[in-house]
Structure 1
Amino acid sequence: MRYFFAIFLILTLIGCKQQDYSPKPRGFYRIDFPTKSYQEAQTGCPFIIEIPTYSQMLDDPNEDAKDCWKNVYFPQFNATLHLSYFPINKITNFQQLTEDARTFAFKHTAKATAIDQSRISIPEHQVYGIQYLIAGNTASNYQFFVSDSTRHYLRGALYFNEKPHLDSIQPVLDFIKSDIKHLIHSVKWK
Structure 2
Amino acid sequence: MNYRFIGLLLCCVFILNSCQDEVLPKPKAQLRLEYPARESKMVQTSAYSFQYNSHARIKDLKSASFTLDYPSLKGAIYLTYRPVENNLVELITDAQKLSYEHVVKADNILEQQYIDENNSVYGMFYEVKGNAASQAQFYATDSTRHFLTGSLYFYAKPNYDSIYPAAVYLQKDVRQILETLKWK
Same fold (TM over 0.5): yes
Larger radius of gyration: 2
* Contact kept in structure 1, 2:84 and 2:146, CA below 8 Å: yes
Q: 1:70 corresponds to which residue?
A: 66
Q: 1:156 corresponds to which residue?
A: 150
CA distance in 2, matches of 1:160, 1:175: 12
Residue deviations 1:39-79 (CA, integer Å, cap 9, x gap) = 0014x33100111010011116xxxxx74221011111011
Q: 2:103 corresponds to which residue?
A: 109
Residue deviations 1:65-100 (CA, integer Å, cap 9, x gap) = x7422101111101110000011114xx00000000
Gaps of 5+ in 2: 1-28
Q: How does 1:12-27 map to 2 (within 5 A)?
A: none
1:169 partner SS = helix
Which of 32, 35, 39 is residue 33 of structure 1 equivalent to?
35
1:84 has 2:84 as partner: no
Residue deviations 1:107-160 (CA, integer Å, cap 9, x gap) = 111111111111011111110001111111010010000000010000000000
Q: TM-score, normalised by structure 2?
A: 0.80
Q: Which amino acid aligns with 2:66?
A: K
Q: How does 1:1-190 map to 2 (within 5 A)?
A: 31-42=33-44, 44-59=45-60, 67-90=63-86, 93-190=87-184
* Contact kept in structure 2, 1:85 and 1:152, CA below 8 Å: yes
Fraction of identical pairs, as percent: 30
Q: Which amino acid aligns with 1:48?
A: S
Q: TM-score, normalised by structure 1?
A: 0.77
Which segments of structure 1 move beyond 6 Å, counting only runs of 4 or more? none
2:129 partner SS = strand
Q: Which amino acid aligns with 2:64?
A: C
CA distance in 2, matches of 1:186, 1:134: 22
CA distance in 2, matches of 1:94, 1:59: 25
Say what the alpha-carbon RMSD is for the aligned residues: 1.8
* Contact kept in structure 1, 2:126 and 2:136, CA below 8 Å: yes
